[in-house]
Amino acid sequence: MNQEKSAEIPKKTSSEEKFTTTKESNNTTENKKEASQQMAPGEAIKLVMEQAKCTRVQAIQALRQNDRDIVNAILSVVSEPSDEAPAEQAENNEIFIPEWIKNEDIEIVMLQTQRKREEAIEALRQCEGDIVNAIMALTM
């Protein structure tokens, strides 16, 4: 005599479903924020510098303004006009060189094109580090 009992599972109301969905999305956002805040400060700065193609000072300021949220820091640097960079470069007499551009590559481009260091760096930056394309861009 098998009697199957049908267990009724209470259905969620629409307000309970909305609350659960909102709660889950808030947890995801909080987890991402916690993960970016757990990253070592140096790594976060480096990541912002590489992605936003900005100076170290700009990356630090953006991270401070955005409570160490890397994504928002990158977006804030990219969205604001870069009037500060040329003034800083003129004062320090140095320009920002992304880590992925090697000194050897800069010198090769300078030798082959007879151009200044700044021009070689800019060409390499525009050509994403491709030496041949950088040389072609400067000579054509």
Domain boundaries defined on the chain: 32-91, 97-139
- Please state the φ and ψ torsions of residue 8, each to the nearest 5 degrees: -90, 125
Best-predicted range by mean pLDDT among 2-11, 81-90, 105-114? 105-114
Higher pLDDT, 4 or 97: 97
And the tokens for 66? 């955005």
CATH of domain 97-139: 1.10.8
Q: Tell me the average pLDDT of the chain.
A: 75
Average pLDDT over residues 58-86: 80
Between 1 and 72, the higher pLDDT residue = 72
pLDDT reported for residue 17? 55
Above 70 in pLDDT, residue 124?
yes
Nearby residues of 135 by Cβ (< 8 Å), 6 or more positions away: 108, 109, 112, 113, 123
Span 85-110, average pLDDT: 72
pLDDT band at 89 (very low <50, low <70, confident <90, very high): very low
